[in-house]
Amino acid sequence: MSGWLNQLAERCYPADNLAEMVTGQRGFVVLDQRRSPEQCRPLLDMPGKHDFITLFAGTALSLLNDASPWLFEIDTDSEAWRYAQSLCQQRLGWVCQPPADQNLQSIADHLRALFVLDDPHGGKSLINLQQPAVWTVLLASAPANFYSHWLNPLDRVATPTPQGQWSIWQADAPTSPAPDRWQLTVDMEAALKESQQAWWLSRMTKTPLASLPNAWLARMKTAMQAGISRSDHLKRLLPIITDEGERLHIQIDDILNTPLSSRQKVQQLERLL
């Protein structure tokens, strides 16, 4: 199993709802409003919403303000909180309940430092941490000291699962100073590249992320490298991707390496079933 999948099982636990996480009167929600502005916009005027911040505003990413994630402070016993949870469960965000010494501005400042990270190649990477798949993988793959620093100001974090439930995260207080700059490790970068494929496989097969076999991710990656990337094509190949044996290994490789179109490759592969 990939290292980040192992750490996923170690760092969070499943929950059917957020009742056990919510202990205070306020919660914070990060929304990927760019993906569905018409669904997110009603939250701006909903009873229970205190305030919100456009996270890219006033930063080096301000030119992307129209695509910026939103951060909301919301009463946890309100219509706005219930609606925000429903948005998150549609892959549009995640929630946290920080300690009393944190406020909307301090949470915004904390998150803004994580949207652009130094990468292992000497460059910088834009991190879409407003997306549940990305934030989940980032938390699962981060070194222990990163993980504790990232979660400490947020305290309890809940990310939706591909099955519509929740993963609850909480870290011990950091035991070392925070570095001056945050940097992706090679392992974190590799995990982020797998994030969307892992989420899709988990949702389509109803298999929890922490239980996904490495072989499934490897087969899906091989298929995509061979030009098979459409969701409907991959869905047709799920019996092969999730096959427990290796009996068709050579035939599959032969087909994937042919100069056929992706549609023709899918048709040829389906004939092996």
Taking the mean position of all CA atoms in its chain, how far away is CA 236? 25
pTM score, two decimals? Answer: 0.90
Query: 3-state secondary structure string, 117-186?
Result: EECCCCCEEECCCCCHHHHHHHHHHCCHHHHHHHHCCCEEEEEECCCCCEEEECCCCCCCCCCCCCECCH
Indicate if the pLDDT at residue 50 is higher than 90: yes
Q: Is the pLDDT confidence value at 105 over 90?
A: yes
Task: In whole angstroms, give the CA distance from residue 134 to residue 140.
Answer: 10
In this predicted structure, the answer to whether residue 171 has a pLDDT above a threshold of 90 is no
Q: What is the pLDDT of residues 189-229, one digit of tens each?
A: 999 998 999 999 999 999 999 999 888 888 888 888 888 88
How many CB atoms within 10 Å of residue 25? 11
Q: Cβ–Cβ contacts within 10 Å for residue 218, how many?
A: 13
Please answer whether residues 204 and 238 qualify as being in contact, where contact means their C-beta atoms are separated by less than 8 angstroms: yes
Domain ranges of the chain: 3-193, 213-270
Provide the 10 A C-beta neighbour count for residue 217: 18
